[in-house]
Amino acid sequence: MRKYLYSFKLYLLASLQYRFDTVLGLIMSNISMLITIFFWIIIYRSNGTGEINGYSIADMITFFVMSSLFRTFILSSGGFEISDMIKSGELGKALIKPHSISMFLYWKHLSNALFEFLKQFSFLLLVVPFFARYLTWDLSVPSAVLVIIYLVTATVISHLLWLLLGMMAFWLEQAQAVMWSFAVILNFLSGMFIPLDFFPRWSVRVLELMPFAAFSYIPAKLYMNQLSVAEGAYLLMVHILWIFVLMALNQMVWRAGTKKYSAVGG
């Protein structure tokens, strides 16, 4: 365990080396969030109603601000990294180390995620005063604890999902197209474009049980007190079950993939 924690620290240090990159990346990654928020403000204003689908304007803005914070815990880079490693032949180096590559990538990108979270959080502290009157602020302690558990769960589920996709490179050589398409679907199904309860009632239940819901929809709803702690806890069990399913799948694909691996170059 210590080796993974140390690599976590190493990557955190390395990412602090580039200040300009940090600031620019922060602005760019938030443009789409800001546009979405302005978009909804305009809709509410022009509609003249206080509520759309049960969401007040405050709910809607809170939902997107929180999503922008929670999405930093979606670990997709591990998947992209493994697909690059397979394609370039770099995987060979990693294979002969006495460690689990999946764990190694998890901790490496978790350190990135934590860094991203802190950046995003400080960005929101700067921007939020402009939206403060729109935001809701009533988080109970049990909900807060559950939100944190969800975010941790989200890091594991997203990491395993993306690894699974990245490992397609064992067979496809070029898995990036599939991965980018998946990114779009994932954003949609995790409620980052539109809250999931905008969909038909029957499908909301199904979507909540899908692994993507843990990424931002459920924690955001918990934060907004629109999902009870009991219900959140019940859904959490399903998402923890997903972790085991994904781990088993990862194990299978990894075995088959490394058997086929041909370690190109050098």
Partner 1 sequence: MSVINVNNLSKSYKIHEKQQGVINTLKDLFNRKYVYKEAVSNLTMTIEKGEIVGLLGENGAGKTTTLKMLTGILYPTSGKVTVLDYAPTQRKREFLKKIAFVMGNKSEINWDLPAIDTFRYQKLLYQVPDELYKKNIDMLAEMLNVKHLLNIQLRRLSLGERMKMELINSFLYSPEIVFLDEPTIGLDLDSQLAIRKFLREYREERKTTIIITSHYMDDIEETCDRVILLSKGSKIFDGAISEISGLYSANKVLQLVFNQSINPHEFSKYGEIIEFKDNALKLMIEKEQYGSIVTELIHQNKNLVDISITNLPFKNIVHQIMVEGRVS
**Positions in the binding site for partner 1 (CB under 8 A):** 2-3, 6-7, 10, 13-14, 17, 90, 92-93, 95-99, 258-259, 261-263, 266
Give dist(CA 22, CA 79) in Å, integer: 22
Q: How far is the CB of 114 from partner 1 (least distance, A)?
A: 18
Q: Cβ of residue 144: shortest distance to partner 1, in angstroms? A: 34
DSSP label of 7:
H
**Residue 231: CB partners within 8 Å, gap ≥ 6?**
none
Cβ closest to partner 1, residue 4 vs residue 131: 4
Which residues lie across from 3 on neighbouring strands? Answer: none
End-to-end CA distance of the chain: 32
Report CA 141 to chain centroid distance, whole Å.
Answer: 23
Q: Please check whether residue 85 is in contact with residue 167, taking contact to mean a CB–CB distance below 8 angstroms.
A: no
Smallest gap from residue 19 Cβ to partner 1 (A): 13
- In order, the DSSP letters of 66-101 are HHHHHGGG---HHHHHHHHHHHHTTHHHHHTSSS-H
Least separation in angstroms between residue 113's CB and partner 1 is 18
Query: 214: which DSSP letter?
Result: G
Least CB distance from residue 221 to partner 1, whole Å? Answer: 39
Query: Where are the alpha helices (H) located in 132-200, listed in sequence order?
Result: 141-166, 169-172, 176-189
Least CB distance from residue 15 to partner 1, whole Å?
9
As given in the structure block, the two tokens for residue 82 are 């493994």
The nearer residue to partner 1, 16 or 139, going by C-beta atoms, is 16
